[in-house]
Every structure is written in C-alpha cells, then in structure tokens.
Chains A and B, each alone.
Chain A
Amino acid sequence: MSRIVRPYGDTTGDGMVQLSFTLPVPHDKRAEGAALQLAAKMGIDGAMLVHAKPIGESYTFFVVYGASTHLVNLDEVQVVERDYPHLSPKEVNDAVREKLGRKLTVVGACIGTDAHTVGIDAILNIKGVAGEKGLEYYRELRVVNLGAQVAVPDLVNRAVDEGADAVLVSQVVTQKDAHLHNTREMSAAFREALPPGKRPLLVVGGPRFDESAAADLGVDRIFSRGTMPSDVASYLVHRLVFTNRETA
C-alpha cells in the first residue's frame, strides 16, 4: 500500500481541502481575486471561491475549496512525543487514588520579590486558564497556594509541614535574571534542608524559562509559555505515581 497520501474529498486522490480566512480589504472583485491568489500560493489547484462576505467596511471573509497539490509521505512524518502521557483530570484522580492511595500534596508559590501570581494562579486556582480548570479542581490533589513574595526559607518550612509531594514555583519577573537566581536559591535550600529521598519534586514555571535548563537550575522540571494545568498534573502523576523517582 502506498505510504503517500493526499487529502480526501469524495474520491481517492482528489486532494480536496476547504479553508476559510479573512483579508483586510473591502469586499469587491479585487478582494476575491486576492483570495484566489492566496489559495494558489498555498498550493491549492483550481481553487473555488464558494463564499465571500464583508465584515464591516474594511474586511472580507472567504471560504475556498480546491485540490491541494501537496503530497504527504507517512514514512517521513516525525512526531515529537512528550516524555510522559497526557492525562485527563479523571485519569489523574484515578491514578492517584488507586496507585498512591492518598492525596497528592502540591505546594505552590511565587518566590522572591515576584508579585505576579498570574502563572501560579492559572495552574492552581480552580478558575484555571483558557477554559481548563486548575489543580484545585482535581479531587485527589491537595493544593496549598502560598501566593506571592514568599521567602525561600518559608517555602521550605511550609513544604515540610504540609508533607509536600511537589513544590510548584512560578517566576514571571526576569529583570537581571531574577527568575534564575531565585530558582537556584530555592533548589539549593531544598537540597540543604532535606535528604534526597525526602525532597519534594521541584517544578518551576514562567514564560521566559528555557525548558532544557532543569539540571542547571537544580530542579526536576521546567514549564514554559503555554503550559496548561493538565500538563503539570500529568507530569506530577508520571513522576510521583508511576515512576520510582530520584529527585534533582
């Protein structure tokens, strides 16, 4: 069987695709021509402009059908797998309940002088982010959100008191690399305070972090821009429930 495929409309190999877009031009003949030209440049052969509608005075919305001239070789498709499976809230709860047999405790904070709790709140608050609920929504996670401007020694003490399985730290401010200094200070403090087997999993997040710098900063994991609560929850389950882990 051929490993080369084209889109399917109603006949094998017809390559048919449908797309819609808006151009910032008033609706007239020229606008329609522009839409067809764009479709041709996108690799659509014999594009049919099936719908054009003005939006206000200076925009036009188009729907175009046509045959894509491109081919896809399935053997050449490369997929970047995340190194842990993505789980739904229910799967996370089931895994914690069945495999751990107790609630998993997560302590979160913004450390140093950073007062931007937007990141940690998006991940932890039940309100969540972009329609996805935060970790408070997960029945089997016990979330302690310490808020902003938490001193590192206070964070360590609280994590110990709460019996934290994981510590989540958010850093938004990057002036003079504050996020990197704060993270190193935090990981060093946990290393000093607790022996390897007793240390909580250390996770940091923020829009300017390099996700590959975890070892350098002494933490277990870094999450960057676009991270959703379920990404974090899935990772926690992967490391704390399914893996016999060694912490950083």
Chain B
Amino acid sequence: MNVSFTLIAAVVGFMIAIQFQTVKKPDERDTRDVWQLRAALLKEKELQSNLLGEIRSNEEKISAYESERKQSKEQVLRDTLQELKMEAGLTEISGPGITLKIEPVIEDIKLGAPVTTVVSPELLKRLLNELNMYEAKYLAIDGQRIINTTVIRDINRETKIDGHTLKNLPIEVKVGVDTINTAEKLSNRMKVSKARDEFFTESLRLTVSEANPVVTIPAYENPIRIKYMEPIKEGGGS
C-alpha cells in the first residue's frame, strides 16, 4: 500500500509544485528611491536630447543633398529621361482628347448570321493613320497604348495589338492631343471622316465623342526591344 501511496503522493507534490510555479508571478519590486528615479529620468532625457539632435542633423543633411541635387546636372538628365519616356509612350498620360467607340451595328444583326466581333487590322490601321493625320499624339486601343513599334495584325482570325487580342466589342479608342482646341478640331474632323463609312461597311459603328478635357491614356506595358539600334561611340563622328 505504502509504495503506491508514496508514488502518488510524490506525483501530487510534483503537480502542486508546477502549478505553484506557473501561477506565481515573478515579483521584482521597484525599490529605487526618489533620487535614484531622478537620476534614471535624467539619463533618459539626455538620451532623448541626443536622439533629437541626431534627427535634426540628419534632416539637415537630407535637405542639403536635396538642394544640391536640384542644382546638379543630374536633375536635367532626369528631366530629359522623363521627357523621352513620355515620348516613347512609357508613361501614363492624362490630357485633353477624345474617345472613339467601336461597336457592332445593332440594326444590321441578322437572324442566324454571326454578329461581327472582329475589327480587321486594316480598318484599325486606317483609323490610326487618319487620327495621326489630324494631329493625334497619344493613342490607346482597348487599353493598349500604341507606340511607334506597335504591330496590329491578324493571327488566326483574331486581331492582335502587340499580342493583346481584341475580342469583345465595343472597343474604346482613346486619343490624346496637346490642347483642348486641337481635341475639338479632331472630334469634328472624325465625325465627318471616311472612317465611319468604312467601319459601317463592316457592320461596325464608330462613335466619336466630344472633346474631353481629361482623357487618361495608359502607359505601354511591354518592354521595348531595340534590335537594330546602337548608341554612337563617343568620339567617333560620322
């Protein structure tokens, strides 16, 4: 009897000790007196003032660098780069412009005949040429920015713009120009242009919006590959 009783008593004691240790909070009382507290406070305040001084000096440095940078050539280069990027179509642009909408002609839909859902690349190319003729500067078709190297072509009876498929009509063509006046002119010219008739013969309707003060044209998304262009070597005049 005594063996099992002793063992179990030991287990109980063990459990009690563990429970006691778990519940017991570590009590470390703060026994510093007023003067010790003051000394500690003083120390912390010194640390704080040191930190503040450091922050101030760092901020001064930042502003010094900033002003230096502004005056340097680097800024000019930066600006130029930004301009070039804008010209190449790598930046999003908002400005005056118009929006064209290409949609199927509803009256022309015949029972049994498939609804036109493809805009042929030739038609789009003609439209772009016409727009460019009328001083359009930035173009985007269905959210795809048109840049100098953009290809519009037919692949397996799907019209693709740089690999993006034009599938769902209506398609929006966003055109950005320099001034609101140009936008108005462009709008008026497009309203009477041949392009509308050309679209209509393919059962598509081209709707031209009024001049809009703010049209946002997205940036070109894909990387631009330059295959046949090299920088001129320095010193080598030609």
Say if A and B assemble together: no
Residues in chain A within 8 A of chain B (CB atoms): none
